[in-house]
Amino acid sequence: MQDKLQELTDKLYNEGLSKGKHDGEELLQKAQAEAADIISQAKTEAERIIAQANKEAEELKTKVAADVKMAATQSIAVTKQEIEKMVVTRAAEQGVKASMGSPEFVREMIKDVVKAFNPDNAAPVALDFILPEAMKAELEPFVNNEIANQFKGEVKVDYSKKLNGGFKVAPKEGGYLLQFTDEEFTQLIANYLRPATKKILFG
């Protein structure tokens, strides 16, 4: 009887032990499978994050490169314009200032303007001139004598310290002003010189 009880006890123990071991192995396998799945998901997510970061970095790199290229292009264009402007303006200014600052040249221009306003068989036109103050000594006798004597209409002359070269003229009742100043001629000549200068400088 004692032996049978011991045998039954051992059998129950061994079966329980075997079942527990089996259940434990199943739980371990399940845990390992879940862990492998978690690791796989984490690895996939990490790869996705890295790929996204690489994509964003590449896009940023492309954008920065495009911005730098555009800024460089604009900078070169502005620099070219400044060089062109400097060369053209200097060339135009030197020639214009030399001519427009010459009383002889201004006298000839005044003669031509007066002729244009004083055609044959036309009614006299009164003119208002503004001349450079710096040329007053050279131009005043010419305007008061030669021009006043030849011109059919009234000639009024004012002198301005703000005028460096050339002159301004307007019909007294005309409501408009013609400017033959060094600034106007510099701009006019510069406009003609600019295309040629650009080609010479930059091809």
Statement: residue 40 has pLDDT above 80 = yes
pLDDT in tens, 139-169: 888 888 877 776 666 778 889 998 888 888 8
pTM of the model: 0.47
Amino acid at 149: N
Statement: residue 101 has pLDDT above 70 = yes
**Which residue, among 183, 169, 179, has the nearest Cα to 130 in the 3D structure?**
169
Amino acid at 121: N
d(CA 51, CA 168): 72
More confident residue, 49 or 115: 49
List of E strands, 75-202? 127-132, 155-160, 166-171, 178-181
